[in-house]
């Protein structure tokens, strides 16, 4: 029997994997992708609760989360490209000066 | 329980076999049609009038040597043809070939593999997955012509996807449902196929479909004179066959979706005209196949007729003409729908 | 029964692909594992009786956002991957903190599961799209319009950031 707890544990595990990815990797693109993992974990949570409570609000919120993730990915990748053109690096340890 | 599993499996096998056989013969038909337009004969040697030519082609592709470039990424190089072919084939899961209630030896079967509530969106999402194979095929070959060609092809696909999705929005507005079966039923209810109610949307869908499948006149990414062979330059043998198969399967998907959305799917033309009653003898799936082949023939015809668009002309057409036109179409359709309802 | 099998398979795939995303050596492989992960999450949404969200997930996330990531990864094609230093002490401290966070979260989930046993009022499937559409256009119209302005701003911002200085 699949209860709500199964989905909550799954989304918690996925969220933790995303956090580990953000904390350990140095490549900024992988960090952004781990953030997408975290957003997906949140979405799984929202939709699991939406099914449990019979309310469609959870799914509407998940649609907005996807919208925001798209906007954030576009702008974030634009920033990475602009940075790469100037400093030739995508290692987050080397992005430590406010002006070069 | 077995009906829920066995029947769809049989239908999947039938549909896949039909699609693959059609793809093989579309290749031959393309060569023949182009030849006849250019006042020559095309393949004539293998079998009478070249009928067995596809078998010769398949045999040749099977036994060709499988070359992988030295510095290519092995896994991605192998995965790219699969990633192109699978989305093209799984789009057939929601297309209604015949009406819902048919009886075969007394057993009720429905004329489609699955009736998903979001069928049309499913096809759009599967089409957007088809981009991966093109990008990865070009990138993993580790050579510059395929890379440039794949970037161009994927940019072209993404641009025309927007215009195509806007036209699908107008169809959804007319039909009131996203399910493909529901759209055909809506056309049956309204008595007029959506191509006549939405000619602009139909035109934009067809042009976008030409661009989405990288067919002439939008075939710059794979034109022979331009970038060797585009993003599948470094592929040979069965891998190249997959790319080839995927392109023609995509063509068939676009034609099938155009048939379902705009030309009434499996419905017979003129159902209300009494002296055309004999058209009702032809079964639904035969009407579907006829209309799809009509579209495929127009694909081939257009290739033989029009010169190729240059890349910047192509992008300008997509972004500056088709997308505003499609959005205007959505707005006008919305207005008319509200005005004519009340 | 069938739901349990499907759930476990897809949950294993999701977590497996997520681990591969954060540990793959090549960035392109990470992106591909991310696509696979999103497709499995979309399948999970279908199990959760949210077919509209599943298709939106495939269309927007797997078919749009990750394509963007793939393009950027190909444009930033470094020969020297930036993973040279990994401080073991820092990783040890991080591991300890993460383990504590995991235990706290599992305790919270266990408490929720014990206090409020789950009862599925699952009646969402057949009219799912209509309900979501109706909610988006009536109760949540303002967030909907704000989201569209946000996407417009993000589009302009991305174009401005990625343009070359002429």
Chain C residues touching residue B139 (CB < 8 angstroms)? 28, 74
Q: What pLDDT digit, counting tens, does each position of B287-341 carry?
A: 899 999 999 999 999 998 998 888 889 899 999 999 999 999 999 999 999 998 7
Q: Which residue range is the domain that position A68 belongs to? A: 4-94
Chains C/B: 3 or more C-beta pairs closer than 8 A?
Answer: yes
Closest CA–CA distance from residue A98 to any residue of chain C (Å): 17
The beta-carbon contacts of B91-95 under 8 Å, at least 24 apart in sequence, are B91/B122, B91/B123, B91/B126, B91/B127, B91/B253, B91/B257, B92/B15, B92/B16, B92/B19, B92/B253, B92/B256, B93/B12, B93/B122, B94/B119, B94/B122, B94/B123, B94/B180, B95/B123, B95/B180, B95/B253, B95/B256, B95/B257, B95/B260
| Most confident region among B10-19, B169-178, C11-20 by mean pLDDT | C11-20
- CA B339 to CA B331: how far, in whole Å? 12
Classify residue A36: in a domain, yes or no: yes
Looking at the 3D structure of chain A, how many domains does it have? 1
Whether A95 has its CB under 8 Å from any CB of chain C: the answer is no
Instruction: Spell out the residues 6+ positions from residue B25 whose beta carbon is closer than 8 angstroms to its own.
Output: B54
Closest CA to B303 of B223, B202, B203: B223
Between CA C14 and CA A43 the distance in angstroms is: 13
**SS3 assignment, position A98:** coil
Q: Does chain B touch chain A (at least 3 C-beta pairs within 8 Å)?
A: no
Give the HSE-up count for residue B294: Cα atoms under 13 Å, Cβ half-sphere: 12
C-chain residues near B131 (CB < 8 A):
63, 67
pLDDT at position C66 is: 94
Q: Which candidate in C154, C159, C160, C164 is best for mutational testing of the A interface (most A CBs within 10 A)?
A: C154
Mean pLDDT (whole number) for A55-75: 93
d(C-alpha B108, C-alpha C138), whole Å: 41
CA–CA separation, B141 and C27 (whole Å): 16
| Mean pLDDT calculated for residue range B25-29 | 89
**Helix (H), strand (E) at residue C64:** none
Residues 54-93 of A with CB under 8 A from C: 54, 56-57, 59-60, 62-64, 66-75, 77-82, 84-85, 89-93
Instruction: Express each pLDDT in C10-63 by its tens digit.
Output: 999 999 999 999 988 888 899 999 999 999 999 999 988 889 999 999 999 999
Q: Where are the domains of chain C?
A: 1-80, 126-166
CATH fold for the domain made of C1-80: 1.20.120
Spatial distance between the Cα atoms of A42 and A49, rounded to a whole number of angstroms: 11
Cβ contacts of C83 on chain A, cutoff 8 Å: 25-27
Tell me the shortest Cα–Cα distance from A54 to chain C, in angstroms.
5
Task: Round to whole Å and give the CA distance between C81 and C65.
Answer: 23
Q: Could you tell me if B136 lies within 8 Å of chain C, comparing CB atoms?
A: yes
Predicted local confidence at residue A100, as pLDDT: 58
Q: For chain B, what is the mean pLDDT?
A: 86
ipTM reported for the complex, 2 dp:
0.92
Q: Residue A77: which of C66, B184, B204, B14 has the closest Cα?
A: C66
Quick: pLDDT tens for B217-270: 888 777 655 555 666 677 777 888 888 889 899 999 999 999 999 998 888 888
Residues of chain B contacting residue C125, judged by C-beta atoms under 8 Å apart: 117
pLDDT band with cut points at 50, 70 and 90 for residue A99: low
Interface B-C, measured as beta-carbon pairs within 8 A, has a size of 62
**In chain C, what residues touch A38 (CB-CB under 8 Å)?**
none
Q: How far apart are CA B116 and CA B200, in angstroms?
A: 27
* Predicted local confidence at residue C86, as pLDDT: 64
Measuring CA to CA, which residue among B155, B161, B283 is closest to residue B220?
B155
* Residue A100 placed within a domain: no
Distance CA B328, CA B163 (A): 11
Which residues of chain C are within 8 Å of residue B231 when distances are taken between CB atoms?
none
Domain assignment present for residue A79? The answer is yes
Most confident of B134-148, B316-330, C75-89, C94-108: B316-330
Interchain CB contact of C152 with A (< 8 Å): no
Suggest the residue from C1, C42, C63 to mutate for an interface test with chain B (most B CBs closer than 10 A). Answer: C63
Rounded to two decimals, what is the model's pTM? 0.90
Cβ-Cβ contacts under 8 Å for B280 (sequence gap 6 or more): B268, B271
Q: How many residues does chain C have?
A: 166
Q: In whole angstroms, what is the distance from residue B301 CA to residue A66 CA?
A: 41
Asked if the structure places residue A82 within a domain, the reply is yes
* CB neighbour list of residue B33: distance below 8 Å, 6 or more residues apart: B297, B300, B301, B304
Q: Residues B93-103: pLDDT tens digits?
A: 999 988 877 76
Chain A positions touching C139 (Cβ under 8 A) are 57, 60
Q: Facing residues of B109 across strands?
A: B102
| C136 φψ region: left (φ > 0), alpha (ψ -120 to 50), beta (else) | alpha
DSSP label at C60? I
Residue A65 clears pLDDT 90, i.e. is over it: yes
Torsions phi, psi of A91, nearest 5? -85, 125
Q: What is the mean pLDDT of residues B34-44?
A: 88
Backbone angles phi, psi at B107, to 5 degrees: -95, 135
Which has more pLDDT, B68 or B78?
B78
- Compute, in degrees rounded to 10, the torsion defined by CA atoms B68, B73, B79, B80: -80
Interchain contact, C129 vs B178, CB within 8 Å? yes
Say yes or no to pLDDT of C84 above 60: no
Confidence of residue B17 (pLDDT cuts 50, 70, 90): very high
- Give the chain C residue nearest B158 (alpha carbons): C64
Asked if B166 has any chain C CB less than 8 Å from its own CB, the reply is: no
**What residue of A is the nearest CA neighbor of C14?**
A14
Strand segments, DSSP code E, in chain A are: none
Q: C11 and A10 in contact by Cβ < 8 A? A: yes
Please tell me which of the candidates C91, C132, C164 has its beta carbon nearest to residue A59. Answer: C132
Q: How many CB atoms lie within 10 A of CB C101?
A: 14
- Give the Å distances, CA to CA, from C82 to A27, A84, B14, B144: 6, 13, 50, 24
Q: What is the dihedral of CA B58, B60, B63, B67, to 10 degrees?
A: -100
Is residue A53 in some structural domain?
yes
Q: How far apart are the first and last CA of chain A?
A: 58
3-state helix, strand, coil in chain C (%, to 5): 75, 0, 25
Residues within 8 A of C (CB atoms), B 63-122 only? 73, 75-76, 79, 116-118, 121-122
pLDDT above 90 for C123: no
List of chains touching A (3+ CB pairs within 8 A): C
CA of residue B5 relative to chain centroid, distance: 27
Please measure the distance between the N-terminal and C-terminal CA atoms of chain B and give it in whole angstroms.
Answer: 47
CATH of the domain at A43: 1.10.287.3510
CB contact under 8 A, C58 and B125: yes
C 45-104 → A contacts, CB under 8 A? 45, 48-50, 52-53, 56-57, 60-61, 64-65, 68-69, 72-73, 75-76, 78, 81-86, 91, 94, 98, 101-102
Examine the pLDDT at C93 and tell me if it is beyond 70: yes
Helices B238-262 and B144-175, axial angle in degrees (round to 10): 20
């Amino acid at each position: 029997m699949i209860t709500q707890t199964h989905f909550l544990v799954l989304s918690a595990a996925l969220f933790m994997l995303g956090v580990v990815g953000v904390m350990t990797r140095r490549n900024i693109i992988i960090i952004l992708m781990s953030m997408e993992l975290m957003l997906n974990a949140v979405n799984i949570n929202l939709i699991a609760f939406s099914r449990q409570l019979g309310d469609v609000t959870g799914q509407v919120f998940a649609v907005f989360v996807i919208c925001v993730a798209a906007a954030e990915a576009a702008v974030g990748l634009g920033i990475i490209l602009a940075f790469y053109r100037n400093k030739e690096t995508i290692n987050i340890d080397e992005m430590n000066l406010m002006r070069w | 329980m077995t009906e829920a599993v066995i029947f769809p499996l049989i239908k999947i096998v039938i549909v896949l076999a039909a699609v693959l056989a059609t793809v093989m013969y579309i290749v031959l038909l393309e060569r023949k049609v182009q030849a006849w337009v250019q006042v020559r004969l095309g393949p004539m040697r293998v079998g009478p009038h070249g009928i067995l030519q596809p078998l010769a082609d398949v045999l040749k592709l099977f036994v060709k040597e499988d070359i992988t470039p030295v510095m290519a990424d092995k896994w991605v190089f192998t995965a790219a043809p699969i990633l192109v072919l699978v989305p093209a084939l799984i789009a057939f899961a929601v297309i209604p070939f015949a009406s819902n209630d048919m009886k075969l030896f007394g057993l009720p079967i429905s004329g489609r593999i699955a009736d998903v509530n979001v069928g049309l969106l499913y096809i759009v999402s599967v089409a957007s997955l088809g981009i991966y194979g093109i990008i990865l095929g070009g990138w993993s070959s580790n050579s510059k012509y395929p890379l440039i060609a794949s970037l161009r092809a994927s940019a072209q696909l993404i641009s025309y996807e927007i215009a195509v999705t806007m036209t699908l929005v107008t169809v959804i507005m007319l039909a009131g449902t996203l399910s493909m079966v529901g759209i055909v039923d809506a056309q049956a209810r309204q008595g007029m196929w959506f191509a006549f109610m939405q000619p602009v949307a139909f035109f934009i869908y067809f042009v976008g479909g030409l661009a989405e499948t990288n067919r002439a006149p939008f075939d710059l990414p794979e034109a022979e004179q331009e970038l060797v062979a585009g993003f599948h330059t470094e592929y040979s043998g069965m891998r190249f066959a997959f790319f080839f198969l995927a392109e023609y399967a995509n063509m068939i998907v676009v034609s099938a979706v155009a048939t379902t959305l705009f030309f009434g799917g499996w419905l017979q033309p003129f159902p209300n005209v009494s002296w055309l009653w004999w058209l009702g003898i032809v079964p639904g799936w035969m009407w579907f196949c006829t209309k799809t082949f009509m579209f495929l023939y127009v694909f081939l015809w257009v290739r033989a007729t029009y010169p190729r668009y240059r890349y910047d002309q192509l992008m300008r057409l997509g972004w500056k003409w088709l997308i505003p036109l499609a959005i205007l179409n959505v707005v006008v359709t919305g207005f008319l729908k509200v005005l004519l309802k009340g | 029964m069938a739901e349990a099998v499907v759930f476990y398979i897809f949950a294993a795939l999701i977590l497996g692909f997520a681990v591969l995303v954060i540990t793959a050596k090549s960035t392109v492989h990470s992106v591909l594992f991310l696509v696979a992960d999103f497709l499995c999450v979309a399948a999970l949404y279908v199990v959760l009786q949210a077919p509209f969200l599943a298709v939106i997930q495939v269309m927007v996330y797997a078919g749009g956002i990750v394509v963007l990531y793939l393009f950027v990864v190909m444009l930033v094609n470094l020969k020297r991957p930036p993973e040279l230093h990994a401080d073991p002490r820092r990783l040890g401290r991080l591991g300890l903190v993460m383990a504590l966070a995991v235990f706290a979260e599992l305790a919270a989930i266990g408490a929720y599961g014990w206090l409020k046993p789950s009862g599925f009022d699952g009646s969402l499937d057949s009219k799912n799209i209509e309900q979501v559409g109706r909610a988006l256009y009536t109760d949540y119209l303002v967030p909907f319009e704000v989201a569209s302005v946000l996407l417009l701003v993000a589009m302009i911002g991305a174009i401005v950031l990625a343009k070359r200085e002429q």
